[in-house]
Amino acid sequence: MFRMPSDWPSASLEPWSSWIPLHGASNHPQAPDLPGLYRIRRIDDGPRLAYVGQTGDSLRRRLGHLRGVYGPIMPYRDPHTVAPALWALRYQDGCDFEASVAVAKGDTPWRKALEATLITLYRLQAEESPYLSFGRMPAGYRNSTGNNKRLAESGQRAHGGPDPSALVSASSVPVNGDPLTDPVSSNWMGWSWSEWNSLAGAGKSAIGVGVYRIRNEGVASGLVYVGQGRIPARLSAHLRKSRSPDHRQAIYFSGKVEASWIELPGIPMVNLLEHENDLIAAHLLATGTPPAAQFLG
């Protein structure tokens, strides 16, 4: 199992609990009724992690959201997104799982940044992501839908299950570079970033899919945001937030705001999410904080 670097910014993260059975974890004394991070692994698979998550509510309640893993049919993606994948592994292999938790202090952006950093540190050590993170499903299984009123009323809510035609999730890509580098540099994390451009101009200049970063030296040092997706559309969406004074991110996307990006044509979404996660983690590791507007919604 990997170990945290001595200088990892984990002062707000309490020590990990011992591993406890996932089945019934919501009633286990080591699962506190407090916010924090948790990790899940197969009991028969050594140190490999299946999933890493966080909650601002209650670790006990969040693990209780996975009780459907032990039911007769694949659970919906609500209330827990990884429940269908864990169910599929149990259905396929008859395996079982265990969990470990750590209470985390701090607000939601900080806790989510700790989650991203934990995943990246694991990726660096294990040379793979937790194998059910980023929406991955076991091969040969179709995922369930969410479980909300809109899906139910439209007849689109459905349980998943075995499906030989289901697409196989893309394999993990490695962490691209050194996380302890300057987030505004031209070669941050080993990428060849585009030149900095005004946010308005970048939305017109960038093309295609990839990852991007945004800075606003007037309100924050380092970066204010990193993201992934269709770059022009995403940058335009951020620019629109600057015109909504009541939006929590408005100040960060207003004034002298610049963007830089990397185009990654043809890359699967799951790998884009891995790269985005690594950029968030690298910013925290290099500067001690997540990008200023990250996770503000």
User: Taking the CA atoms of the chain, what radius of gyration do you get in angstroms?
Assistant: 20
CA angle at 102 for the pair 98 and 104, rounded to the nearest 5° = 150
Query: Can you tell me which residue has the tokens 């002062």?
Result: 11
Instruction: At 206, list the tokens.
Output: 């960038």
For residue 207, what are the contacts with CB-CB under 8 A and spacing of at least 6?
231, 232, 263
- What's the CA gap between 169 and 163, in Å, rounded? 14
Every domain of the chain and the residues it spans:
20-162, 188-287
Torsion (CA) 173, 177, 180, 181 in degrees, nearest 10: -140
Tokens 């997104």 label which residue?
81
**Per-residue pLDDT for the chain (297 aa), expressed as one digit of tens each?**
334 454 555 567 899 999 999 999 999 999 999 999 999 999 999 999 999 999 999 999 999 999 999 999 999 999 999 999 999 999 999 999 999 999 998 999 999 999 999 999 999 999 999 999 999 999 999 999 999 999 999 999 999 999 999 999 999 999 999 999 999 999 999 999 999 999 999 878 888 999 999 999 888 889 999 999 999 999 999 999 999 889 999 999 999 999 999 999 999 999 999 999 999 999 999 999 999 999 997
CA distance 254 to 238: 10
Output the 3-class SS for the chain: CCCCCCCCCCCCECCCCCCEECCCHHHCCCCCCCCEEEEEEECCCCCCCCEEEEECCCHHHHHHCCHHHHCCCCCCCCCCCCHHHHHHHHHHHCCCEEEEEEEECCCHHHHHHHHHHHHHHHHHHHCCCCCCHHHCCCCCEECCCCCCHHHHHCCCCCCCEECCCCCCCCCCCCCCCCCCCCCCCCCHHHCCCCCCEEHHHHHHHCCCEEEEEEECCCCCCCCCEEEEEEHHHHHHHHHHHCCCCCCCCHHHHCCCCEEEEEECCCCCHHHHHHHHHHHHHHHHHHHCCCCCCCCCC
**Protein fold of 20-162:** GIY-YIG endonuclease (3.40.1440)
Q: How far apart are CA 256 and CA 223, in angstroms?
A: 13
Contacts of 165 by beta carbon, 8 Å cutoff, 6+ apart: none
pLDDT of residue 2: 39
pLDDT tens sequence across 177-203 = 999 999 999 999 999 999 999 999 987
The yes-or-no answer to whether 20-162 and 188-287 have a common fold is: yes
Map tokens 């620019």 to a residue: 239
Q: What is the pLDDT of residues 204-220, one digit of tens each?
A: 888 899 999 999 988 88
CATH number of 188-287: 3.40.1440
